[in-house]
Structure 1
Amino acid sequence: MITLMPKNNFIVKTVFLAFFFSAFISTSFSQSPEDIYNQYKKEFPDKMGVLLEKNDEITIDFEGDTVSILHTEYEDLLFLTDRATGLASQKAYESYFSKIENIDAVTLVPNGKRYKKMKVEYFKKEKESSSGIFYDDLESTNFIMPNVSPQARTQVSITQNIKDPRFLSSFYLDSYVPIKSAKLTLKVNKNIEINYKLFNTEDIKLDFNKTEKGNYVIYEWTAKNLKDFKAEDNAPRRNYFSPHIVYYVTQINYPNRTQKIAKSVADLYDWYSNLSCKVNLEDDAELFKTVTELTKGVTEEQEKVKNIFYWVQDNIKYIAFEDGMQGFIPSEASFVYAKRYGDCKGMSSIIHKMLNMAGIENTYLTWIGSRSLPYKYSEIPTPIVDNHMIVTYQPTEGEFIFLDATDSYSPFGFPSSMIQGKEALLGMGREKHKVALVPIIDKEKNYSKKSVSLSISDKNLVGKGQYSAEGYPKGYMTHYIDGLSKENEKIYMNRYFTKGNNKFFVDDYKINNLNEKDEALKIEYDFRIEDYAKFVGDEIYINMNMEKAFSNDEIEKDRKSPIENDYLFKANNDIFLQIPEGYEIEYLPENSDFNNDLFGYNIEYKKEGNKIKFTHNYYKNYLLLNNESFEDWNKMIKEVNKAYREVIILKKK
């Protein structure tokens, strides 16, 4: 239930934290609010605000016989335009692993030569629901900063208690506005060992200092004058390009024992294994019966694996579920079977159990990060590396097939597209656990092919088309089509196959192999394009470039972030135009092409008997297109757009 809570319900646990916050908000008033505003408005004329300070302080210490972690985040934001007033509404998040201990929030309102402090007194707590997540234990405390306007400043300090040393956060050295000063301080008890890793910091000046004071080691990073980041289309997650510091506890040295937290991947696997080792110890008669039916008469092991994998894809509904430690423990296979739904861990649990029931032992529960996470186990052996679970089948030594049933449409042998190129942690036992690399599926296995026969009828084009697709293109299209009503299905066909202009109509179509996972998707369709052929005197003008791939994809010159692609692919398109009786070819455009290792196309015109064959092939051979390739990409776009303007000319004999 949503409740209103006065601020004094939050308890400051330590005198240190109270002092820490008060030191932050004791703003220097040597400059008037107007002077401060004018200074930064001149420096950042196009920005809606500037963070004068962005500071995080983390204290990792002992409280009795347990580890205590307090994390205080502080921001001092100066508002430069009316647009920034949208930032007055703020949220502080917490979950099972991180509880809010204290929030202090004030607005510094210009009042002549000084500021007047206006405190936030009331906070509203509510459950959060993330997109695509069936259940989430995330909660937020919401509050609105009072009297926000240009020249005003907001100062917010949020202190959280982190319950498990495996779940420390990251510190980002950029934000949605420029930052004048950023500082990360780790105050760590000498008997607690930590490590850290810097990401994307090559282009900033980052000062580091390590000192000892009493029973503590102090780690401190500072940076000045940091640029803001801009959200850009088709960009990967911010952690791929924003400068940030990941810090984590590696070992805790108690008086009588040592606890390894993240010294190595083995420590992470030990923890994961302990969470999952008590699952599926009992058999389920009904589940065993289903396994028996799926494998009856099947002699080849790989066919048994495929049958079980496809059954889970088709019969178990994927739901995302995050609830504290339960978000790390797989559900019982019997529970998933009975309910017919599960999260990634539940779906992996039932696949693993069913395979074992079928006598297939060389299968392993597997932890893995999606492509939204750029980290590797070898770099950071903590839960920050992964957010997903699958099953790995090892048919022969060194050969791995990754089974991810959360993607209902991926064929056997294809990992889901979101885990391509990622490291996978296979649960083979502490001494035998293995980190394996998920392959990136070659573009030759992800293809679509269109073949179209056209004839001219008055000013219209009438045609028959054939479409086929395998790999991810098939899976993505099946995902969109499956379950559509006939009416919506036809709307989709018109939109997907549209050619030439907005007077394109699919009159009839037939879909084959939609749910045959091991067969290519095939679609046959009849269509017409009204008013497309241009008649001028004795000549007919037709632009054969009816599907202009890449035409609007020029990359802006000031783009900073890489461009993400779901999968590697190639597309082959052929159009055969019947030359009308009494006409001959007056002009065929020149062929055009551009090819490199990452992307390319070719356009070709050819006369074959009484037809013109137009070929347009193109491909993308990357998952992430980095900045150094942007110039070549735009060069290709310029050339292909020039080719798209070309027309063929037919002339009466």
Structure 2
Amino acid sequence: MKLAGFLLLILLLRPILLISQANITVHQESLEYVIKRPGDANLKVTKSFTVHNIKGLESAVFTLYHDSFRKLKNFKFEMTNDRGERIEVYNIRDLLDLSLSGYANVTDSRVYLLDSKYKKVPFRVHYTYEMDFSGFISLDDWQPIKDFNTIIEESKISVKYPRDMTFEVMAVLGMKEPETYCDDGFCHFKIEYKNIKPISKKRYDEPLRDQTPRLLMKSNDFQLDGIDGSLASWKSFGDWYLKLNRRDEQITPKTRSDVENIRNSFDMVPELVDSVYKYMQSRTRYISIQLGVGGFKSLPAEEVDTKGYGDCKALTNYTQELLSIAGIKSYQVLVMAGSNVPRLIEDFPSNQFNHVFLAVPHENDTLWLECTSQTMPSDYLGSFTDDRKVLWVDQGNSQIVKTPYYSVEQNLVLEHVKISLTENGHAKIEIKITKGGNYFEEGQSYLYQATEEIQKSNQEKFSFSQYSIDHFAFEMDQDSLLLKEVYVLNVPSFAKKYGSRLVVDMKDFVKTSRISANTSDHFMRLLRNYQVVQTIEIIFPENHILQHANENLSIKKEFGEYELKVKRSPQGVQYYKKLILKKGDYSGDEFIELQEFMNGVFKNEISKIMLSSKT
């Protein structure tokens, strides 16, 4: 009887325990698509949820993007308190309709916003709306789990489409396969989830989008702004993109003459491409333009040539035209750009892109050109477009390729630190840093910021409790792709004084971090190779000797290595440290080994050095 009573208590407490782990509970969410023909569809949305705590308040802020192809109707938003009493009811007239245009951004995209400002939790939200589509390429991915710490009681989606339309879905990351049937000239599919427990944020360097079940949806035939296209293959999508942007480009005689002069000045392709690229950079600036089919259609090259601005499509198209005048063949490349973005799903041709740049084949290699930057060197891919699958657009032969990434040897940070201590613990610290690979791009901000902005940014780079920067200088070597930085710091009480002893805390120079030990999901993605080599030289004040320092240490694993060499002398001590981490996905036993390695390195890094007075 005691056991039965205990089990009954557990069953009664289970809902309470789940709610204690959740910020919101989604009672019902329903999406119903009806596709009448390519480019013509209607969506009905219903959602009801409870906000349990202040961390869930953001979920009660309603946002919905719309443009000339998406029209909202029949909107209703209702809030009730924990006693079921109505707090407020809103309709479409209460929505703020905000433009997304802004600095360097011209668009007809807008966002509806509704924020009730109500904060007395718990409370319940119920809303419904419809959206009419007059043009689209593919439907938005459906993912029932949209946020961490969310209970989902019911979430479902259904799609109705003409029987003669080829409609495809792909279930990924454990998504259920849809139920399908056809009748009366239409086909239907639906998926329903119930009683999903909350998940907490525990995977490192991986967005939620890549962790939970997701459904990709598309019609092979689509229409946007009256222009027909096909997603049957990457080849057909590439052909549509080229058709959309096909025109007889006109370049002014002056520009054509300039490019021809450049062509006559160089014999080697890389030097010619670099010179044309720099010519383009000197004449243009980036501004995002998203009007009509602006997400895909470029401004004419002639307009960029005369006005001197364009978005990624326009500047890429313009650069391609300039290279063509110089006798260089180039190709546009579509990419999902960003430092940590979802991976392209190659088996499902669809619009998985947000950016375009340029590629120039040369012998057995490719030169890559980011055309939206006025300062980026040619053939440099930073974290915005490196190491990912992209669509190489070529008439009749568009295909998925992969952009290069930087090796351990290239993704390098070399740091030399010289610390001159005084008897009272004050320090003059001279730091010289050389950065390559992905870290080279960190210098781009220096080229755009005013001196005051750089000074403010530098004041936040170091973790000392109190310090001043007496000198700062930088140099960006466009040929070697190396960024060099020099800092001279004045740090009062850098070393803590205890009687006749000085204690130096090395935690201010740590270049790694711990991996939490409380994760139950043993997975970590290291996005990029990483190597940092530090030489830290500490010059003792007169009449002081070393009492304690680290011992030499060397660890080598498949995923990386760590080395520490300590060199002692009467005048001071020198720490030589090297940390290498290799990109990859680490799970199971590999994750545990990586976790032990990282935590061991961190523990060794936060050590202290102790000096004592000779007198």
Q: How does 1:152-171 map to 2 (within 5 A)?
A: 153-171=124-142
Do the aligned partners of 1:544 and 1:614 also contact (CA within 8 Å) in 2?
no
User: How many angstroms apart in 2 are the aligned matches of 1:125 and 1:545?
Assistant: 48
Q: What are the within-5 Å matches in structure 2 for residues 91-110 of structure 1?
A: 91-107=63-79
**Residue 140 (1) aligns with residue 111 (2):** yes
Are 1:436 and 2:406 counterparts? no
Residue 466 of structure 1 corresponds to 432
> Which residue does 1:332 correspond to in 2?
300
Amino acid at match of 1:91: T
Q: For 1:469-618, list aligned pairs within 5 A.
A: 469-476=435-442, 478-493=443-458, 495-496=460-461, 498=462, 501-511=464-474, 513-514=475-476, 516=478, 518=480, 520-533=482-495, 540-544=502-506, 546-551=508-513, 553-555=514-516, 557-558=518-519, 567-578=528-539, 584-598=545-559, 600-607=561-568, 611-618=572-579
The answer to whether the aligner puts 1:285 opposite 2:285 as a matched pair is: no
Cα 1:635/1:120, change in 2 over 3 Å: same
Within 5 Å, give how 1:251-330 maps onto structure 2: 251=221, 261-278=230-247, 281-292=249-260, 294-330=262-298
SS at match of 2:277: helix
Report how far residue 310 of structure 1 moved. Answer: 3.2
Is 2:132 aligned against 1:178? Answer: no
Output one character per residue of 1:466-525: Cα deviation in whole Å (capped at 9) or x when no partner: 22222321221x2232244444444544544x47x33443323443x3364545333344
Q: Deviations over 1:355-390 (max 9, x none)?
A: 1111112x112222225553436322121x111111
Q: What residue number does 1:349 align with? A: 317
Q: Distance in 2 between matches of 1:82 and 1:568?
A: 38
**Shift in CA distance, 561/99, structure 1 to aligned 2, threshold 3 Å:** farther
Measure, in 2, the Cα distance between the counterparts of 1:422 and 1:71.
Answer: 33
CA gap of 1:557–1:125, structure 2 versus 1, over 3 A, is: same
How much does 1:447 deviate? 1.7
Instruction: Classify 1:209/1:588 alpha carbon distance in 2 versus 1 (closer, same or farther; 3 Å).
Output: same
Which ranges in structure 2 are unaligned for 5 or more consecutive residues?
1-12
- Partner of residue 35, structure 2: 60
Moved more, 513-522 or 162-171: 513-522
Does residue 427 (structure 1) correspond to residue 393 (structure 2)? The answer is yes
CA deviations 1:296-336 (Å, max 9, x no partner) are: 52221110111222343454322222223022112222322
Tell me which residue corresponds to 1:226.
196
Q: CA deviation at 1:230?
A: 5.5
How many angstroms apart in 1 are the aligned matches of 2:119 and 2:540?
69
Q: Could you say which residue in structure 2 is the equivalent of 1:456?
A: 421
> What is the Cα deviation at residue 180 of structure 1?
0.6
Residue of structure 2 in register with 1:187 after alignment: 160
Deviation at 1:167, TM superposition (A): 2.9
For structure 1, the residue ranges without an aligned partner over 5 or more in a row are 1-37, 254-258
1:324 aligns to what SS in structure 2? coil
Asked if 1 retains the 8 angstrom alpha-carbon contact of 2:180 and 2:189, the reply is yes
CA contact (8 A) 2:31 2:44 kept: yes
2:86 matches 1:123: no
- Name the residue aligned to 2:5: none
Do the aligned residues in 2 keep the contact of 1:165 with 1:248 (CA within 8 Å)?
Answer: no
Going from structure 1 to structure 2, the CA distance change for 1:287 and 1:54 (only over 3 Å counts) comes to same
| More displaced 10-residue stretch of structure 1: 338-347 or 116-125 | 116-125
Give yes or no for contact 2:21–2:198 (8 Å, CA) kept in 1: no
Question: What one-letter code is carried by the residue in structure 2 that aligns with 1:172?
Answer: Q
Secondary structure, aligned partner of 1:448: strand
Q: Which residue of 2 aligns with 1:652?
A: 614
Whole-angstrom CA distance in 2 between matches of 1:491 and 1:148: 35
Task: Give the superposed CA RMSD.
Answer: 3.8
1:366 matched residue in structure 2: 333
Aligned to 2:371: 405
The amino acid across from 1:368 in the alignment is V
Q: Which stretch of structure 1 is more off in the superposition, 437-446 or 123-132? A: 123-132
SS at match of 1:417: coil
Moved more, 289-298 or 139-148: 139-148
Change (3 A) 1:561 1:415: farther
- The CA deviation string for residues 582-606 of structure 1, in whole angstroms up to 9 with x for no partner, is 6554444212355544455333212
Q: Which residue of 2 aligns with 1:638?
A: 599
- Alignment TM-score, normalising by the size of structure 1: 0.79
Structure 1 residues 220 and 417: CA distance shift in structure 2, 3 A: same
Counterpart secondary structure, 1:181: strand
Identical positions, percent: 14
- Looking at structure 1, the residues matched to 546 and 346 of structure 2 have their Cα atoms a distance apart, in angstroms, of 63
* SS at structure 1 position matched to 2:337: coil
SS of the equivalent of 2:599 reads: helix
Three-state SS of the structure 2 residue aligned to 1:170 is coil
Task: Say if 1:145 and 1:154, in contact at 8 Å, map to a contact too.
Answer: no
> What per-residue deviation string (whole Å, max 9, x for no partner) do you get for residues 3-47 of structure 1?
xxxxxxxxxxxxxxxxxxxxxxxxxxxxxxxxxxx9965752343
Q: What amino acid is aligned across from residue 414 of structure 1 in structure 2?
A: Y
Q: 1:182 to 1:523 in 2, by over 3 A?
A: closer
Q: 1:408 to 1:518 in 2, by over 3 A?
A: farther
Distance of 1:132 and 1:564 partners within structure 2: 35
Go from structure 1 to structure 2 and tell me whether the alpha carbon gap of 1:287 and 1:106 turns closer, same or farther (over 3 Å shift). same
Query: Which residue does the alignment assign to 1:249?
Result: 219
Contact 1:420 1:440 (8 Å CA) reproduced: yes
In the alignment, which residue of structure 2 is the partner of 1:7?
Answer: none
Specify whether residues 526 and 105 from structure 1 end up closer, same or farther in structure 2 by C-alpha distance, changes over 3 A only. Answer: closer
Please show how residues 197-216 of structure 1 align to structure 2 within 5 Å. Answer: 197-201=170-174, 206=176, 208-216=178-186
- Give the equivalent residue in structure 2 for 1:217: 187
Match of 1:77 among 32, 49, 57: 49
